[in-house]
Structures are given as structure tokens and as C-alpha cells.
Amino acid sequence: MSRVLIVGAGLTGSLCACLLRREMQNKVRVVVWDKSRGSGGRMSTSRCPDNTSSVVDLGAQYVTATPHYTRSHRSFYEELLAHSILQPLDAPVEGLLNKDGSTNYVTPLGMSSIVKHFLKESGAELFFDRHVTSLYRRGALWEVHRKGGEREEFDAVVLTMPVPQILQLQGDLGELLGASQREQLETVSYSSRYALGLFYPPSAQIDVPWAVNYVANNPCICYVAIDDRKRHKESPGCGPSMVVHTSVPFGLKHLEQDKEVVQPIILEELNKLLPGLPQPASIKCHKWRYSQVLSAVPGCPGQMTLHDEPLLVCGGDGFIHSNFDGCVESALRVFDVLKASL
């Protein structure tokens, strides 16, 4: 039985693990490592420290299904809808440019519930706080080193982290990468932004006519959502929650500053934008260094195979495009490679 390591517990990694379980259960043993303390990647959902029922989506906000992907990824949409993980977005949205024929879906339990569903279905051995630092080829195996932990060996490795983090890996990877592959990987670029999650006490009221607002012509803030209202999870015993995303230029300008320095700047702009907001009980600030893919690996089918034996393959939105369906398509393409090789 082949031992497969998937690095990254985001959507691509979790779905790839799920597909391996469903179609190759008797052939592979799947292990998933993530350097964070929880699953989700850029579909992360944060909980209020004082009330775990109050959550905000700090990364992806909802899923937009185009007619093309509604057809080609139909089984995944049907599965998530059947489990009530997805439901149509019908809360009021200001400033959204609707795409013809597309359907928007929210996640009542937060965006990370999509990833958690596929991880649960996968039955994979899941480990957090596992930061991969280097890979070495040892005959027919990969020896994987991690920060502050013992090295382990695997028959195949799947890398789903942002492309710049793949290029930072030490060991044999530098020698195995061809010049053209390295050049392709180095062309990938990402936007950067900050996200604020604000949790309010149960007595607080936020009197705005919308659940989601795409903010135009603001140098700092581009998006605000009353997150519980967006997800249809308003509850009398639970205060409202809000998520704020900064613009990409603002994120780039303040990228190397500490969050503690940037958070007050965003809050000041938020209070100018929405005067009279109540005082939040808790605030979480997150820096997305790799927010969305601006330029993916050119001409890439959703994956890049770096080595055949032992197998080393990369996937994720950096190899296709940055949304739910891009990650699903990448997981399918990575799975095709694994299925043909193991």
C-alpha cells in the first residue's frame, strides 16, 4: 500500500485526499499535513474567543458557480447541497456585478466547512503544525523534513501550498526542477490584503440595509459583510459578526508591517465608512500574503508533475485559477496523476 503525503489542508488538498479514499482506498494510505493550527487554507473560518457560535470567514466569502462548472462539477455541488454545507446566497448585496447565469452559494457553518467535509470523507491522517522544510529523494521514496519534527518517508508527495512556498523548499527539489519548470513557477503572482473579523456582543445592532457591500473608491476597504447575516445565521443569543477586506493596493503598501500597526488604520477607515458602529467585543486581524492568484502557471492543466518516480506533484489555484472551481479542477487533475502512477 502506497503512503501518500498531501501538504496543505485547503480545498485542493482535502478534495484530493477524498478522491483517493473513494477510488483507491485499498491502494493508498493518505496523510495530510498543514503548517497552520486548523484546516481551510484560504477558506478559513475564525471563531469568537468568547462565543464559539459566532464565526467569520476571513478568506473566501462565498462560492460562485458558473453554468460551465455547475455542469462539469455537478456531483460536488450536489453533494455539498445535500449535506446543507452550501445554500443559495439570497441576502442583500450592494455593488456585486452579477455574472450571467451564475449562482452564488454561502456556507451556513463557514467556508471551512467545505474543506472539513472532504477531509472527514477522506479518512486521512490529519496533522496540524507540520511545516515542511525540505524533500530528499531516497531511492523509491521521498524523505520529508519538517520544522521541529522527525523526518518521514512517503511513496508520493502532493504539494498544494502557494507556489512561492514550493520554491522555498530545500533539499533535492532545486536540482530536480528543470529550468523551464522553475521559470514557469516563478511567473506566478498573488494579490495581498488584510482581513478583519469583528465580533460584537449580543446586544449590538448594525443598522445597514445590506449583508454584503462591495465598497467603491475607498483607498483602504474594498469589502464589508455582516457575516452572520450573509450566512443566514443570525441568532438572538449571539452577537453580529463582521468581516472587512482591504483593497489590494492597501495590502501591498502595508504588507511588511506588523498586524498590530495595520489594524488601527483599518478600524479608523471602517468607522469613517460606517459611522456609529458599536464597539466590538473581539477583533481578529489576518494578513493574506497570498490572497488570490493574479497570474497562474501559464498553460498549466491544474497540476505540475515535478518528478515521476517517486512521484512529486503540485496542485492548487496557482496552477489554474483562484476560486472554488479552480481548486476542484486542480484536485481532479492531481488525482488523475496519482491514479495513473500508484
Rounded CA-CA distance 176/64 in Å is: 37
Average pLDDT across the chain, whole number: 95
Its pTM stands at 0.96
- 3-state DSSP of 231-277: CCCCECCECCEEEEEECHHHHHHCCCCCHHHHHHHHHHHHHHHCCCC
Encode pLDDT of 122-174 as tens digits. 999 999 999 999 999 999 999 999 999 999 999 999 999 999 999 999 999 98
Encode pLDDT of 235-281 as tens digits. 778 999 999 999 999 999 999 999 999 999 999 999 999 999 999 99
Rounded CA-CA distance 154/141 in Å is: 6
Torsion of CA 164, 168, 169, 175, to 10 degrees: 100
Confidence of residue 50 (pLDDT cuts 50, 70, 90): confident
Beta strand pairing call for 189-190 and 156-159: unpaired
Encode pLDDT of 280-297 as tens digits. 999 999 999 999 999 999
Encode pLDDT of 197-241 as tens digits. 999 999 999 999 999 999 999 999 999 999 999 998 877 789 999
Q: Is the pLDDT of residue 99 over 80?
A: no
Q: Is there a contact between 284 and 49 (Cβ–Cβ < 8 Å)?
A: no
Rounded CA-CA distance 127/259 in Å is: 27
| Average pLDDT of the residues in 38-63 | 93
Confidence of residue 299 (pLDDT cuts 50, 70, 90): confident
Q: How far is CA 2 from the centre of its chain?
A: 27
* pLDDT at residue number 300: 87
User: Which residues, at least 6 apart from 252, have a Cβ–Cβ distance to it below 8 Å?
Assistant: 191, 192
DSSP state string for 207-231: --S-SEEE--S-SSEEEEEEHHHHT
* Secondary structure class of 320 (helix, strand, coil): coil
Rounded CA-CA distance 44/58 in Å is: 6
